[in-house]
Amino acid sequence: MKRLLSIVGARPQFMKAAALWRAAGGVGAVDLRLLHTGQHYDREMSEVFFDELQLPRPDYQLHVGSATHAMQTARMLEGIEEVLLRDRFDGVIVYGDTNSTLAGALAAAKLQIPVYHVEAGLRSNNMAMPEEQNRIVADHLSSLCFAPTQTAVENLQHEGLSLKTRLSGDVMYDNSLYYASLATEKNNVLDRLGLIPGEYVLATVHRDFNTDNPDRLNSIMQALSEIARNARVILPLHPRTAQRLSSLHASLSTLSILPPASFFDMIELERHAQVVLTDSGGVQKEAFFYGVSTVILRPETEWVEIVEQDAGILADADPQRIIDAYHRLSGHRVTFPSLFGDGHAAEYILREILDFVD
């Protein structure tokens, strides 16, 4: 029986870890444990997902909370190292590109414990993003890099990492297939909010370069208010965005502002939206899986496939570009080709890890 530690900390990682958790039940011969760094800690940012995703409570909780990047990462490094020194693991699995990913990869690699990176090889080629810094380091420290797309494979090849790269498909696509019917069955968010399918817009803004730059945040909110003349705009807010909005000039009275959405609420809101406007990678992709197009509130994206398929437009934080992109995409359904695997990425990843460990 091989013992693996799955390290999570931020909202999107709970979802990715849940895919591996389900797969572990079918693959056998693996004792998968869970460590939560505590990077996200509000109930709506953390616990809610454990409930909906049917994830077990973490075996290890670090409660690091919010801090500067270095301080937060340092607290995680100390806590993760302590766990890895105390209990023996055959490998550590990290997900995506957050500070929890970086800390997990670094702590394990320093102890010569193999690291497996799920959602490897994504690049924005914008080194100012903390996520870009985190994923590059994690990829280079990993024993196996699980790339969700062919583009990600090519990015890893360019960095000389071909030998340890595996094209796995995307565990988020596994999830979109698995949870779609469950979300509909167990959820009535559209009724609760009085929404008609196809007649509202879903928006999310959480990236630091948007929230922490008042000009960009103002411009985005202006564009959303303009769009709200045509369709209801639903805006579930990340706690940091909520803090920043309080000091903004733009009027927000025409927007439907909500607390952070649960996973099932989000799936339902994404699936039935006329258009999604977002700076989140995960939300862009989920919308795409459900045939909904996206105005991307960033200058670039790691998920270039979405733009190449005409299912997304890069509009940055420019109000006119955002509004034009919204008009071009509204009501435009997408039939997406299978670029993200066959829905069994998590099983493949676990099997590859177990082979590697042997």
How far apart CA 150 and CA 312 sit, in angstroms, is 18
Stretch that binds ligand UD1, among 7-15, 84-92, 146-154, 249-257 (CB under 6 A): 7-15
> In this complex, which beta carbon is closest to ligand UD1, that of residue 209 or of residue 356?
209
How far apart CA 73 and CA 98 sit, in angstroms, is 10
Stretch that binds ligand UD1, among 9-17, 83-91, 113-121, 336-344 (CB under 6 A): 9-17
Give the distance from CA 11 to its chain's centroid: 7
Which residues touch 21 (CB under 8 Å, ≥6 apart)? 6, 32, 34, 55, 56
Binding residue for ligand UD1, selected from 52, 119, 131, 305, defined by CB under 6 A: 131
Residue 238 bears catalytic tag: no
> In this complex, which beta carbon is closest to ligand UD1, that of residue 13 or of residue 149?
13
Cβ of residue 2: shortest distance to ligand UD1, in angstroms? 28
Cross-strand pairs, 278: 204, 296
Cβ of residue 206: shortest distance to ligand UD1, in angstroms? 5
Return the structure tokens found at 27: 């693959």
> In this complex, which beta carbon is closest to ligand UD1, that of residue 260 or of residue 343?
260
Cβ of residue 98: shortest distance to ligand UD1, in angstroms? 3
- 108, 242, 252, 264 from 293: Cα distances, Å: 39, 25, 24, 19
Cβ of residue 205: shortest distance to ligand UD1, in angstroms? 11
Task: Print the binding letters for residues 37-66 with ligand UD1: x by CB under 6 A, - otherwise.
Answer: --xxxx--x--------------------x
Interaction with ligand UD1 in 97-126: which residues (CB under 6 A)?
Answer: 97-99
Catalytic option among 36, 117, 206, 238: 206
> In this complex, which beta carbon is closest to ligand UD1, that of residue 169 or of residue 260?
260
Binding residue for ligand UD1, selected from 226, 239, 356, 357, defined by CB under 6 A: 239
Cβ of residue 1: shortest distance to ligand UD1, in angstroms? 32
> In this complex, which beta carbon is closest to ligand UD1, that of residue 1 or of residue 70?
70
> In this complex, which beta carbon is closest to ligand UD1, that of residue 11 or of residue 232?
11
Cβ of residue 36: shortest distance to ligand UD1, in angstroms? 12
Stretch that binds ligand UD1, among 35-43, 77-85, 140-148, 315-323 (CB under 6 A): 35-43
Cβ of residue 242: shortest distance to ligand UD1, in angstroms? 8
Task: Print the binding letters for residues 62-91 with ligand UD1: x by CB under 6 A, - otherwise.
Answer: ----x-------------------------
How many residues form the binding site for ligand UD1 (CB under 6 A)?
A: 18
> In this complex, which beta carbon is closest to ligand UD1, that of residue 130 or of residue 259?
130
Residues in contact with ligand UD1 by CB under 6 A are: 10-12, 39-42, 45, 66, 97-99, 130-131, 206, 208, 239-240
Catalytic residues: 206
